[in-house]
């Protein structure tokens, strides 16, 4: 199959390289200039697995403006706040035969995709796969080959031939796909999962295992899960796990499956970038308001993460001022 990966960051590279290794024709499209420059200079991306076995993987890389191909499927893996810009810049190569697939975290992306693709061409999903972009031109796949899994569901909830072809390619690439039958329920179940793990680990700047091993972890998680499940019940969203299963999944993922992983939200925070919290806890809280339910804990968590972002950005500004003040001294010394 011919794929265009829209976003060649951590997850775009994980999916794209594995699909390429499984025999597909993959082109990566990105806008982050230092990453583009590094990949061109190196002739590819340096890929690691669990910080080891660093090796060069050749990839085809384009910018939205330079790409003129006609892929069968576009896979969107940008941060939520980057998606509109990517869609606008890539729209010149979209056509009505192409499919759009995405396993981005949070909510808000599907409505944006619907402005460019018909409902029967959109396939959504969720990824329980940890990947890190340590810097431009470098990607670290966390977990052994075959680790992690993903859920996928067409927006129409009626899988067609292309959905099955995508499923087969993801399976060949060892990505452990599961085809689910409830679109919104599938996506929201992962949003709730991330509303606990990503948010708490990012605020405290801790790996997932440290949260999972904290004796109060289940109480903290239960409070966020209960609020979110109460809201989904009011919104008639059918989650794919029960509350108990969601709590269990968080426990197993943090303590056993990915104890050393810092969630993707942490990766933004530590680079002094805005996080996706408004599309995760903020989305749950806004949905609650539509059903006259005040999600107090999710609202509090959203602001707590914004406070942490604010603090880090202030520190970055102070560092910049100090560096500027040191400049003339360095010249006169």
Ligand X SMILES: CC(C)(CO)C(=O)C(=O)O
Positions in the binding site for ligand NDP (CB under 6 A): 7, 9-12, 31-32, 77-80, 82, 104-106, 127, 129-131, 133, 135, 264, 271, 276
The item of ligand X, ligand NDP, none sharing an interface with residue 32, based on CB under 5 to 8 Å by kind, is: ligand NDP
Q: Coil, strand or helix: which one is 226? A: helix
The Cα–Cα gap between 22 and 170 comes to 9
- Stretch of residues binding ligand X (CB under 6 A), selected from 42-50, 69-77, 78-86, 125-133: 125-133
CB closer to ligand X, 138 vs 276 = 276
Quick check: 275 binds ligand X (CB under 6 A)? no
CB closer to ligand NDP, 117 vs 266 = 266
Structure tokens at 22: 């499984």
Distances, alpha carbon 2 to alpha carbons 162, 226, 247, in Å? 12, 42, 38
Using CB under 6 A as the binding rule, the residues of this chain from 85 to 124 that contact ligand X are 105
Quick check: 264 binds ligand X (CB under 6 A)? yes
Quick check: 127 binds ligand X (CB under 6 A)? yes
Strand partners, 49: 52, 141
Structure tokens at 251: 């426990």
What's the min distance (Å) between Cβ of 48 and ligand NDP? 14
HSE, side-chain direction, 13 A CA sphere, residue 53: 10
Of 61, 103, 191, 197, which lies in the binding site for ligand X, with binding defined by CB under 6 A? 197
Q: Coil, strand or helix: which one is 310? A: helix
Report DSSP letters for 39-54, one per residue.
HHHHTSEEEEETTEEE
Quick check: 206 binds ligand X (CB under 6 A)? no
Task: Specify the DSSP element, H or E, that contains 183.
Answer: helix 183-204
Q: Which residues bind ligand X (CB under 6 A)?
A: 105, 127-130, 194, 197-198, 261, 263-264
């Amino acid at each position: 199959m011919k794929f265009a990966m829209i976003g060649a960051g951590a997850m775009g590279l994980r999916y794209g390289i594995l699909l390429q290794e499984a025999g597909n024709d993959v082109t990566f499209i990105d806008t982050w200039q230092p990453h583009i420059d590094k990949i061109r200079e190196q002739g590819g991306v340096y890929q690691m697995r669990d910080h080891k076995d660093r090796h060069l993987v050749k990839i085809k890389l384009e910018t939205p403006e330079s790409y003129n191909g006609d892929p069968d499927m576009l896979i969107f893996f940008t941060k939520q706040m980057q998606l509109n810009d990517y869609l606008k810049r890539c729209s010149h190569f979209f056509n009505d035969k192409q499919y759009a697939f995405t396993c981005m975290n949070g909510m808000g992306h599907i409505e944006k995709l619907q402005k460019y693709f018909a409902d029967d061409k959109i396939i959504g999903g969720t990824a329980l796969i940890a990947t890190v972009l340590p810097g431009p031109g470098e990607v670290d796949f966390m977990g052994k080959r075959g680790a992690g899994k993903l859920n996928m569901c067409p927006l129409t909830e009626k899988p067609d031939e292309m959905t099955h072809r995508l499923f087969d390619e993801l399976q060949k690439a060892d990505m452990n796909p599961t085809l689910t039958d409830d679109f919104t329920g599938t996506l929201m179940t992962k949003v709730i999962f991330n509303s606990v793990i990503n948010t708490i680990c990012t605020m405290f700047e801790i790996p997932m295992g440290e949260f999972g091993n904290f004796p109060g972890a289940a109480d903290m998680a239960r409070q966020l899960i209960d609020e979110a499940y109460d809201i989904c019940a009011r919104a008639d969203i059918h989650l794919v796990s029960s509350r108990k299963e969601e709590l269990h999944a968080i426990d197993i993922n943090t303590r056993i499956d990915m104890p050393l992983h810092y969630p993707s939200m942490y990766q933004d925070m530590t680079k002094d970038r805005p996080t996706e919290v408004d599309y995760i806890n903020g989305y749950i809280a806004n949905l609650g308001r539509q059903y006259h339910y005040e999600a107090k804990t999710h609202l509090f968590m959203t602001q707590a993460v914004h406070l942490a972002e604010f603090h880090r950005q202030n520190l970055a500004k102070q560092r910049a001022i100090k560096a500027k003040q040191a400049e003339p001294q360095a010249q006169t010394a």
